[in-house]
Amino acid sequence: MRVRMRRVLAPATALSDALGDLVRRHRAGRPVGITSVCSAHPLVLEATMREAAAAGGPVLVEATSNQVDQTGGYTGMRPADFSLLVEGIAGRCGVGPDRLILGGDHLGPNRWRDLPAAEAMDRADDLVAAYAEAGYTKIHLDCSMACADDPARLTDEVVSTRAARLLAVAEAAAPDPAALSYVIGTEVPVPGGAAEAIAGLAPTTPPAARATLRAHRQAFAAAGLDAVWPRVRGLVVQPGVEFDEWQVVDYDPTRTTELRRVLDTEANMVFEAHSTDYQTPAGLAALVRDHWAVLKVGPGLTFALREALFALEAVERELCADDSLSRLSEVLEERMLAEPRSWDRYYGGDDRERRLARRFSFSDRLRYYWPEADVRAAEERLLDNLSEAELPLPLLSQALPVQYARIREGSLAAEPRALVIDHVCDVLRAYRRACGVIATGEEHHTP
């Protein structure tokens, strides 16, 4: 195991105990939560910050180990690069660094599962150190995936021992270890989404959740890190929510009655819900009420981004000369066919079904291609083309009727970037309401 010496860096750009404060309020009987935005697309991040500027309170943005790692991930960004991107967008939107919480999601050997465990964990050490050194203060320790020389299913003891190892790395690497909050959990959705149709999805059983807690507490103590346990703020368990290509499994509170009691003896902890994308507003509110106080969303935001951009591409085809068109959807299709590794094993069916899935599925594997240079260029050309045109209201009514209505009311500009951002914000507004915060920052909850 390689544990890096702590370097002296600038103070962490997060509210040192914002997550702890959320947990305390929630455990005191106030059903409040926080949205965890898991996306690296600049327009999604801008939507996040503009929504946060209106709502007030802390803003939680997380990078996954697929997106951002010590060598660049699929976005080409290291943890320090991503933090600079987020902070820059936040600053332009009037959200100060004191309101930002940066998190690292699924930090563990996931990216290197094809390697032997010893080598994969060495790389996971470097991954966690890079996040901690860069000032990320919410760390999800996820060692639930099997490596090349592991059995297919790991025991809680193996998972928790590996998590304790990464915990030690984070504590040693962070500029201010006391500012770190941790999330644990072995029953987590696969990073990147389900690779097959969902069938028979069941919530985590209470005995399994208690076994996870017990194993991690024991492993942390064995590593001499039992004093860190009060900073374990979240437990990831499966509340019975998920999505695949064409369907969404909605939250059913009647199936989690006993599971909700698991944290009764953990005064510093709430549940964290992954894969909450596409849940109904009522479902999101019910999750928060039932102690899933951290709601993670990612593909649902880039899905909304794609909806808005494809809608504007239809407007562009009506307004612009053929030789100036962005061809955004065509460029994306060409790139996905040329580099199928991020979607091919996820999408089944015949050619027509796979083409539909590439463009429209809930799984939104298309999101992995936004950072590609040719796709970025096509996106910018689309927005630039429409910025130079006068957008006819009837076309906007056809393409984005909700945004059209806001233009007519005078609350939204008929400008392409503003339209895209507002469409993404509609997703975030549902999360904000579910988490009990209205635009003034006042706590509120709908039963």
Distance in angstroms (rounded) separating the CA atoms of residues 232 and 212: 13
pLDDT given for residue 16 in this prediction: 53
Given a contact cutoff of 8 angstroms between Cβ atoms, the answer to whether 287 and 281 are in contact is: no
Residues of the chain where predicted confidence (pLDDT) is lower than 50: 2-15, 192, 438-442, 444-447
pLDDT at residue number 225: 98
Residue of 205, 184, 185, 187 lying closest to 256 (CA atoms)? 205
Region label for 142, one of left (φ > 0), alpha (ψ between -120 and 50) or beta (otherwise): beta
Q: What is the pTM of this model?
A: 0.93
Q: Tokens representing 225?
A: 């890190």
Q: What is the dihedral of CA 377, 379, 380, 384, to 10 degrees?
A: 130
DSSP 176-226: SGGG-EEEE-SS-PPTT--SS---S--PPPHHHHHHHHHHHHHHHHHTT-G
Q: Give the H or E element holding residue 303.
A: helix 299-319
Radius of gyration of the chain (CA): 22
Helices (H), ranges, 64-116? 79-92
pLDDT at 415: 98
State the pLDDT at residue 20.
87
According to the model, what pLDDT value does residue 333 have?
Answer: 98
At 201 the pLDDT is 86
State the Cα–Cα distance between residues 283 and 189, nearest whole angstrom: 18
What domains can you pick out in the chain, each with its CATH number?
A: 18-301 (3.20.20.70), 303-422 (1.10.400.20)
